Amino acid sequence: MLDICLLGCGGMMPLPYRRLTAMMARYNGHNILIDCGEGTQVAIKEKGWSFKSIDLICFTHYHADHISGLPGLLLTIGNAERTEPLTMAGPRGLERVVNALRVIAPELPFPIEFIEWNGPEQQIGRRGYRIEAFRVNHNVPCYGYNLIIDRAGKFDVEKARENQIPMKYWNSLQKGEVISLEDRTLTAEMVLGKPRKGLKVSYTTDTRPTESIVEHVRGADLFICEGMYGEPEKLAKAKEYRHMTFYEAARIGKEADVRQMWLTHYSPSLTKADLYMDGVRAIFPRVVPGKDLKSITLEFEEDE
Amino acid sequence: MLDICLLGCGGMMPLPYRRLTAMMARYNGHNILIDCGEGTQVAIKEKGWSFKSIDLICFTHYHADHISGLPGLLLTIGNAERTEPLTMAGPRGLERVVNALRVIAPELPFPIEFIEWNGPEQQIGRRGYRIEAFRVNHNVPCYGYNLIIDRAGKFDVEKARENQIPMKYWNSLQKGEVISLEDRTLTAEMVLGKPRKGLKVSYTTDTRPTESIVEHVRGADLFICEGMYGEPEKLAKAKEYRHMTFYEAARIGKEADVRQMWLTHYSPSLTKADLYMDGVRAIFPRVVPGKDLKSITLEFEEDE
């Protein structure tokens, strides 16, 4: 069970009726945050999710609307008495930017580990999540993210017997342990059927459409994607500032055949995303406009 | 006419129902902001006051809840197309702290001028305001502020005649000009009665009570003062963290004989300031609890 909350849906600056775009995931008691604008901590508080359980904060890039809330959030995580290390990941420059911002949050009760992405894509595993970062196309280095929960195959008694696995190891192997015997090594694959479909949530913001985004988000259970402008005539502006219109975003979702898609990162000039949804759904019916605190719980598929 | 808005009334961290403490003043089309926490720009937007007209930002000190919103605000002022210089003033370290935070707001269309306070008190004049900064007592260097609008005396025809001021200079002198003639220098005092009562707004937060605060805020038309804790039993905590209880604040207001007083900078643990007001008003009846966006327009007294 993977809980996702879109903490805000605005771009550029926080507004009285719209928080800045950021996303939080909750899985097995561990939380991941992507981006942290001014006010993101207030949205988390409003949602009621734990600050202390934030193990990883990923940044798409370092424009202020995606990181300005970090010093305040770090202090709030500290006040929630976290002492375990917290990992931050983002494009090159992360440590420099975070350390500069920490001029107003110098003392924290937890250590910070930094991971700076290099190249077109990279992945890490954390607390049951697999995180894929893939480069997108903005006017500064910027990455999109996949949060993936892999799901092993079912226990297969026949396979375990065929592989002559003593029954006393079945349980440990099913949990993923590796067991070294004198003559051979036992692994989970020897007792499990083929991996089942897991869960995948994709998040991209502050980018022009790219073929790489389509490839990376393919088949996502949920794709949260920027749509800076609803007005079709703002395409030129979208190109100039390296953003997307709703329609460009919808075409990515359609090509990538995602299960559902939420738009986010609206321009402050856009007052009602709903006004443009007919045109958007004509391209791809599975798109809905994101809203502050829009949330979903994604479940594994029932086994057949 | 001096407009004052308490933009938020919280301390430590922004909450869904309470913004961080900051104050804005508006006089003759020029705005002054004191403190700028995470979300202060949203409060200004909600109030509807101009970003572009912010000429001066004063900081009490550099704890995150008083400055974390600065990078976002600067970008928003830039988006409002300000090109005139903006002045910032605060305790020592201002330029270093602001420049570190500007790692995410490096490009602005206006220059910034810094004034760092030294010593127990200092004052500057800006756009019709007189700003007095006076040192208070927190666990880092921290200043309180008086915003003063001075008001000259009325034009006094008899005095002008006694001083043998040619009538052609009356108007210029009344406006404050200094006129050098061959044999003497003419000044406003030669044609004006004694200065009339102006307006004075005092703002102190993040401090223990001090005698100096009483002296500085004496007679203020409005005194906005921190009251971190309403519960009388939190006095020890107030002392430990160098804050005040509501009752300590009220005693300052009473001793300084201010015309009215608003409490602010409530602890996140304090849910309803109203609960404690009976005890507070028993000390000083002119205290009310501050609220987000609580506003007032102060007018000069009618001439007799």
How near does any CA of chain A get to the CA of B64, in Å?
5
The predicted structure's pLDDT at residue A198: 96
Q: How confident is the model at residue A304 (pLDDT cuts 50, 70, 90)?
A: low
Distance CA A38, CA A36 (A): 7
Which of the following is catalytic: B55, B65, B221, B292? Answer: B65
How near does any CA of chain A get to the CA of B97, in Å?
6
CB contact under 8 A, B100 and A101: yes
Decide if pLDDT at A250 tops 90: yes
pLDDT digits (tens, 9 = 90+) for A18-76: 999 999 999 999 999 999 999 999 999 999 999 999 999 999 999 999 999 999 999 99
CB contact under 8 A, B12 and A79: yes
Helix (H) or strand (E) holding A161: helix A157-162
Measure the CA angle with vertex B72, ends B68 and B78; round to 5°.
140
Residues A10 and A110 in one domain: yes
Distance CA A73, CA A45 (A): 11
Q: How many CB pairs under 8 A join A and B?
A: 93
The predicted structure's pLDDT at residue A266: 98
How near does any CA of chain A get to the CA of B268, in Å?
11
The residue written with tokens 């403190």 in the block is: B35
Residue where a domain stops, chosen among A194, A220, A251: A194
The predicted structure's pLDDT at residue B304: 63
The closest CB to that of A41, out of B13, B97, B104, belongs to: B13
Q: How confident is the model at residue A176 (pLDDT cuts 50, 70, 90)?
A: confident
Residue B8 and residue B37 in contact, taking contact as beta carbons nearer than 8 Å:
yes
Interface list for chain B against chain A, based on CB atoms closer than 8 Å: 12-16, 37-39, 41-42, 45-46, 62-65, 67-69, 71-72, 75-76, 79, 96-97, 100-101, 103-105
How near does any CA of chain A get to the CA of B179, in Å?
49
Residues in chain A: 304
Task: Kindly state the tokens that stand for A238.
Answer: 């979208």
In a domain, residue A97? The reply is yes
Helix (H) or strand (E) holding B147: strand B143-151
Residue where a domain stops, chosen among A143, A170, A194: A194
CB contact under 8 A, A14 and B42: yes
How near does any CA of chain A get to the CA of B102, in Å?
8
Decide if pLDDT at A290 tops 90: yes
A95 chain-B contacts, CB cut-off 8 A: none
| Of residues B302 and B121, more confidently modeled | B121
Decide if pLDDT at B151 tops 70: yes
Decide if pLDDT at B26 tops 70: yes
Residues A185 and A241 in one domain: no
When divided into structural domains, chain A yields a total of: 2
Distance CA A84, CA A82 (A): 6
Decide if pLDDT at B159 tops 90: yes
B68 chain-A contacts, CB cut-off 8 A: 38, 68-69, 71-72, 104
In a domain, residue A205? The reply is yes
Q: Domain range holding A283?
A: 2-152+195-298
What is the pLDDT averaged over residues B187-200? 94
pLDDT above 90 coverage of chain B, percent: 97
Measure the CA angle with vertex B243, ends B257 and B42; round to 5°.
90
Distance CA B51, CA B149 (A): 21
In a domain, residue B304? The reply is no
Strand partners, A295: A5
pLDDT digits (tens, 9 = 90+) for A220-229: 999 999 999 9
> Has this prediction a pTM greater than 0.90?
yes
In a domain, residue A303? The reply is no
Distance CA B277, CA B291 (A): 14
In a domain, residue A235? The reply is yes
In a domain, residue B303? The reply is no
The predicted structure's pLDDT at residue B289: 98
B64 chain-A contacts, CB cut-off 8 A: 71-72, 75, 104-105
The predicted structure's pLDDT at residue B302: 83
Residues A277 and A175 in one domain: no
Decide if pLDDT at A115 tops 80: yes
A103 chain-B contacts, CB cut-off 8 A: 62, 96-97, 100-101
pLDDT digits (tens, 9 = 90+) for A139-161: 999 999 999 999 999 999 999 99
pLDDT above 70 coverage of chain A, percent: 100
Distance CA B257, CA B130 (A): 21
Residues A95 and A239 in one domain: yes
Q: Which residues contact B254 (CB under 8 A, 6 or more apart)?
A: B283, B284
B206 chain-A contacts, CB cut-off 8 A: none
* Number of neighbouring beta carbons within 10 Å of residue B23: 26
The predicted structure's pLDDT at residue A302: 83
Residue A60 and residue A142 in contact, taking contact as beta carbons nearer than 8 Å:
yes
Q: In sequence order, what DSSP letters do the residues of B142-191 get, joined into one string?
A: -EEEEEEEEEPPPB-HHHHHHTT--GGGHHHHHTT--EE-SS-EE-GGGT
pLDDT digits (tens, 9 = 90+) for A69-105: 999 999 999 999 999 999 999 999 999 999 999 999 9
Residues B247 and B114 in one domain: yes
Beta-strand ranges (E) seen in chain A are: 2-8, 22-27, 30-34, 54-58, 86-90, 112-116, 121-126, 129-135, 143-151, 179-180, 185-186, 196-204, 222-226, 261-264, 287-289, 294-298
pLDDT averaged over every residue in chain B:
97
What is the pLDDT averaged over residues B220-244? 97
Rg (CA), chain B: 21
CB contact under 8 A, B101 and A96: no
Decide if pLDDT at B174 tops 70: yes
Residues B176 and B274 in one domain: no
Q: How confident is the model at residue B297 (pLDDT cuts 50, 70, 90)?
A: very high
Residues A55 and A188 in one domain: no
Residues B121 and B181 in one domain: no
How would you class B162 by CB atoms within 10 Å of its CB: exposed for 0-12, middle for 13-18, buried for 19 or more? exposed
What is the pLDDT averaged over residues B165-177? 92
Decide if pLDDT at B255 tops 70: yes
Nearest-CA residue of chain B relative to A62? B104
Residue B126 and residue B56 in contact, taking contact as beta carbons nearer than 8 Å:
yes
What is the pLDDT averaged over residues B71-77? 98
Task: Kindly state the tokens that stand for B157.
Answer: 């025809």
| CATH number assigned to the domain comprising residue B59 | 3.60.15.10
The predicted structure's pLDDT at residue B303: 72
Nearest-CA residue of chain B relative to A14? B42
Q: Which residues contact A224 (CB under 8 A, 6 or more apart)?
A: A4, A6, A23, A201, A202, A203, A204, A205, A261, A262, A264, A290
Which of B7, B12, B13 to probe the A interface (max A CBs under 10 A)? B13
Helix (H) or strand (E) holding B73: helix B70-79
Residues A164 and A275 in one domain: no
State the DSSP code for B13.
Answer: S
Distance CA B247, CA B251 (A): 6
Report the catalytic residues of A.
65
Residues A65 and A23 in one domain: yes
Decide if pLDDT at B131 tops 80: yes
CB contact under 8 A, B75 and A96: no
